[in-house]
Structure 1
Amino acid sequence: MTTTSQARSFDSAAAEYAANRPSYPPALFDAVEGLAGRPLRGADVADIGAGTGLATALLHARGARVVAVEPGPAMASQFRLGLPDIPLVRGDGDNLPLASGSVDILTYAQSWHWTDRRKSVPEALRVLRRGGALALWWNDSDSAVGWVAGQDARLRRLFGADGDEPDRMARFHGLPSEIGFARRQVTWSREVPLESHLANLATYSDFLVLGRNATERFMAEEREILTDLFPHGTVEEHYVVSLALAIAVHVEAVSP
């Protein structure tokens, strides 16, 4: 269950988020194009909850005419520092600051779960052109990898969710039932310094609302564990991206 405080917490760590959060693999955007039935190049794309622009930058690099929408002032400032030439407007998925029927592809990179589905579904359908695509995705640690599973278990204990076993399909649970989504999962990895890995963990919303002292205690213990696992100081992070995509022509009759 997400909370307003969690949703707003990222603004307090915008610079750290930009510096340490993982981006997305090319295979994800190949999957978006395949399911949407059109290339990103030349498409009018709006990236909602864009944050510091991790997904926006890659959409732009694929040739999309992209505009970013971001509610947080600090995240928006960080976005403008890194991507000064890409249009950015303030707003959120529950009340999109976009004209009706103006977008070919609407993307929510790890941001759909912060919206109120009763508002965000009709808003998404309002701004999409007929035949346009609504693309939602999440990038999660891949608990099928042994050391990642161990870290996930420690995180669950810390945040009081010890009985909840990770589910690779969990991100698809609770998708709007009135919309027919196609689903894909993409696995990928990256190598980062140990300190960058820990800094990435510290940008998770749960840590941002946990408090500094408890976060520092966990990170110190985690540093010791990971130093034993990765004595050379480089961590190979493993991820699975869960993508859900729907075509607007199939859902245009949905109303608020």
Structure 2
Amino acid sequence: MKDQVHHAAAAGYKTAADSYVRGRPDYPPQVADWLTGTLELNAHKTVIDLGAGTGKFTGRLVATGAQVIAVEPVAQMLEKLSLAFPDVLAVSGTATDLPLPDASVDVVVCAQAFHWFASTEALTEIARVLKPGGKLGLVWNQRDTRVSWMPKLDTIVNALEGDTPRFHTGAWRQAFPHEAFGPLQAQHFNHSHTGTPEDVIFNRVRSISYIAALPQEQRAKVDEQLRALVAGEALLRGKDVVTVPYETVAFVAVKGR
């Protein structure tokens, strides 16, 4: 299974689990209505949290009343999830090797994850475990670059991405269309992440897989760049609490009957 996980995820998320918990933003309140309305999750449904990570989105799924199965290939992330949600069935698996029977779940949700495994093979495997008429939900939080200092932060982060799959490139869309699914339908929500600069800026960047996988000296250089950014921006300099604006994009595709 290790061969099915991108090297940046396999290496970075082993060490970034704590930063991921502290630095990643939550999701806006409107996501609750999207889960129960668009994806039709309720106490009679079963949902896979695919690429569940540390469980950042798992609580949103649990809140719908549905039976949640969390699937995650990185052991360190799965351990964090199990501690946070001991009542959720948490299993090791990948998008191309789901440890579940055919037509056994109503919904599959990938939050901050689908770009890692976007492929015809993954969609075929997801379709296999979905019931006829089942739904695939894809969710991403993205920094709102309309804020003056945000493009500068993105420049620091994007310069190091190498061959790491990311949502912003749009490469994940090449997996669609897929014969098992109808067209993607999108909704957009605005929200923000408020906290200390250490968490919402530094730990957020440290939680990025390919940055967490860097040698310590290079990670220290990234921290230096972030400190220079904070010192140079009036909206950030000297602040104990800062707000980072985000846009959440949520897609749904329905499996054919």
What TM-score do the two structures reach when normalised by structure 2?
Answer: 0.85
Identify the range of structure 1 (98-107 vs 109-118) with the bigger mean alpha-carbon deviation. Answer: 109-118
Structure 2 counterpart of 1:139, from 113, 138, 141: 141
Q: Select the residue among 220, 234, 237 that pairs with 2:241.
A: 234
Q: 1:25-174 alignment to 2 at 5 Å?
A: 25-36=28-39, 38-115=40-117, 117-157=119-159, 159=161, 170=170, 173-174=173-174
Equivalent pairs, count: 244
Tell me the equivalent position of 1:224. Answer: 228
Alpha carbons of structure 1 residues 135 and 4: separation in structure 2 relative to 1, 3 Å: same
Decide whether the 8 Å contact of 1:95 with 1:119 is kept in 2: no
CA RMSD of aligned residues (A): 2.5
My pick for the range that moved more, 208-217 or 43-52, is 208-217
Equivalent residue number for residue 176 of structure 2: 176
Q: What is the CA–CA distance in structure 1 between the aligned matches of 2:61 and 2:41, rounded to whole Å?
A: 11
Q: Is the 8 A contact 1:102 1:129 kept in 2?
A: yes
1:215 aligns with 2:219: yes
Deviation digits for residues 142-181 of structure 1, max 9, x if unmatched? 11222212211233345579xxxx9979477434112311
- Structure 2 counterpart of 1:244: 251
**Equivalent residue for 2:206?**
202
Shift in Å at residue 200 of structure 1? 1.5
How far apart in 2 are the matches of 1:170 and 1:10? Answer: 22
Contact 1:35 1:182 in 2 (8 A): no
- More displaced, 188-197 or 137-146? 137-146
2-structure distance, mates of 1:244, 1:232 = 35
Show structure 1 runs of 5+ residues with no match.
none
TM-score, normalised via structure 1 length: 0.85
Cα displacement (A) at 1:42: 3.4
CA deviation digits over 1:110-169, x for unaligned, max 9?
1112225132111111111111111112112111222212211233345579xxxx9979
Q: Would you say the 8 A contact 2:47–2:68 is kept in 1?
A: yes
| 2:191 aligned with 1:188 | yes
SS at match of 2:158: helix
Q: 1:239 to 1:93 in 2, by over 3 A?
A: same
DSSP 3-state at the match of 1:210: coil
2:14 matched to 1:14? no
Letter in 2 for 1:10: Y
